[in-house]
């Protein structure tokens, strides 16, 4: 593979002069200053000042936990924003294309539509693994991005490491590995391989294991060169002060987060064993995430029956390879007990 990042960047982005905010032009080192440069309301209330546009304190905390250098981290308003920035930096509307692997996270398709980028869908195999030959056959000179969701949503499995290596070495574009659920996997993920693969981008989130879906905070890890390009086009204050403060506070209790992950994985394994005993459950797919994909006799019927019992799961039957499949998020021990009770009542 002859990878050249410069050949992937849109021409208008190459020549773009990014907006320079007041806090980009002057950064305090902690000294007491009178700030009259950003047209803010001067009356102190804790939120009258603009937030740090580069979220440096928060990035330092994330860097410690994820073992990724701060210069290789980009933060955004949820993972959806950082994914959108990738499209806008590297894909020319009406010309370029990306490859996604259904069944997978639906926002790749939505973002390709928003950005007027062709989405070439290559189905996963029956074992929910990438089909390397079919993927490479779909590639042409205008294929810029390949999206791999691993652990995958909605199937829950992590893709085979050797398969991912083949794609990283063979695909002459950017490989985006969406690791939203990586904390629930025994697999370490790919964040420690960034220096080995210059075309690798990883996205993660505070919405799953970190338990902070409400603050909307997404993470992107990549080479410093890719981060510089994305910083050029990101909004100047895309992560607000409340989000930064709440994330930092949450990371101070990281041991609690890790224990919650252990508890969720234990509940996931117990749920899998219990659900498999039901006569209308045909299969439970292996999961490295905080959910289970289960195949039942009639997903539409079972979904509505659970609704009637006050339990909401996700009917994924309309997704490729997911006929009569329900996706069940792992809840608390009590919630899971209630779920199992409701499922068992449906047997009679």
Q: Are 114 and 86 in contact (CB under 8 A)?
A: no
Is residue 347 very low, low, confident or very high in pLDDT (cuts 50, 70, 90)? confident
pLDDT at 208: 98
| pLDDT above 70: percentage of residues in the chain | 99
pLDDT in tens, 61-107: 999 999 999 999 999 999 999 999 999 999 999 999 999 999 999 99
User: Lowest-pLDDT range, 4-13, 26-35, 239-248, 266-275?
Assistant: 26-35
Burial of 14 (0-12, 13-18, 19+ CB in 10 A): exposed
Is residue 26 very low, low, confident or very high in pLDDT (cuts 50, 70, 90)? confident
Q: Where are the beta strands (DSSP E) in 135-290?
A: 143-149, 174-178, 200-205, 218-221, 281-284
**In the predicted model, what is the mean pLDDT of the chain?**
96
**Alpha carbon 5 to its chain's center:** 22
Structure-block tokens of residue 189: 């993920």
Query: What does the pLDDT average to over 201-221?
Result: 98
Query: What does the pLDDT average to over 205-218?
Result: 98
Higher-confidence position of 290 and 348: 290
Q: Are 3 and 167 in contact (CB under 8 A)?
A: no
Query: What does the pLDDT average to over 304-330?
Result: 98
Name which of 94, 113, 110, 78 is nearest 218 in CA terms: 78
Indicate the pTM of the whole model. Answer: 0.96
Is the CA virtual torsion 90, 91, 96, 99 positive or negative?
Answer: positive
Is residue 348 very low, low, confident or very high in pLDDT (cuts 50, 70, 90)? low
Phi, psi dihedral angles at 142 (to 5 degrees): -105, 15
pLDDT at 265 over 90: yes
pLDDT at 32: 84
Name which of 189, 244, 249 is nearest 221 in CA terms: 189
pLDDT in tens, 146-179: 999 999 999 999 999 999 999 999 999 999 999 9
Name which of 178, 173, 220 is nearest 68 in CA terms: 220
Structure-block tokens of residue 99: 């490859």
Phi, psi dihedral angles at 218 (to 5 degrees): -115, 155
Cα separation, 317 vs 119, in Å, equals 21
Adjacent-strand bridge partners of 218: 76, 205
pLDDT at 29 over 90: no
Query: What does the pLDDT average to over 26-36?
Result: 83
Q: From residue 312, how far is each of 47, 157, 295, 306, 307 by CA, in Å?
A: 37, 22, 16, 7, 6
pLDDT at 1: 66
Cα separation, 33 vs 44, in Å, equals 14
């Amino acid at each position: 593979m002859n990878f050249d990042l410069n050949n992937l960047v849109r021409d208008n982005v190459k020549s773009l002069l990014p907006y320079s905010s007041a806090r980009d032009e002057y950064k305090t080192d902690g000294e007491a200053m009178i700030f009259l440069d950003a047209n803010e309301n001067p009356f102190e209330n804790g939120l009258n000042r603009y937030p740090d546009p580069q979220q440096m304190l928060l990035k330092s905390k994330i860097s410690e936990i994820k073992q990724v250098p701060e210069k290789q981290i980009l933060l955004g308003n949820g993972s959806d924003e950082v994914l959108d920035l990738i499209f806008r930096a590297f894909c020319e509307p009406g010309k370029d294309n990306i490859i996604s692997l259904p069944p997978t996270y639906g926002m790749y398709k939505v973002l390709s539509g928003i950005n007027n980028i062709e989405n070439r869908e290559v189905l996963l195999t029956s074992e929910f693994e990438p089909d390397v030959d079919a993927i490479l056959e779909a590639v042409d000179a205008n294929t810029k991005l390949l999206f791999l969701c691993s652990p995958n949503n909605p199937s829950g499995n992590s893709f085979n490491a050797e398969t991912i290596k083949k794609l990283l070495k063979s695909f002459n574009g950017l490989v985006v590995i969406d690791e939203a659920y990586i904390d629930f996997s025994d697999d370490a993920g790919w964040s420690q391989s960034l220096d080995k693969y210059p075309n690798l981008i990883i996205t993660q989130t505070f919405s799953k294991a970190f338990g902070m879906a409400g603050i909307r905070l997404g993470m992107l890890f990549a080479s410093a060169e890719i981060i510089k390009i994305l910083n050029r086009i990101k909004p100047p204050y895309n992560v607000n002060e409340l989000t930064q403060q709440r994330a930092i506070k949450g990371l101070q209790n990281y041991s609690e987060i890790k224990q919650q992950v252990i508890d969720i994985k234990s509940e996931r394994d117990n749920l899998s064993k219990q659900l498999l005993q039901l006569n209308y459950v045909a299969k439970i797919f292996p999961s490295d995430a905080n959910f289970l994909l289960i195949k039942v006799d009639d997903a539409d019927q079972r979904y509505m029956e659970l609704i009637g019992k006050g339990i909401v799961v996700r009917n994924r039957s309309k997704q490729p390879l997911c006929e009569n499949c329900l996706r069940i998020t792992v809840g608390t021990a009590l919630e899971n007990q209630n779920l199992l009770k409701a499922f068992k009542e449906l047997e009679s």
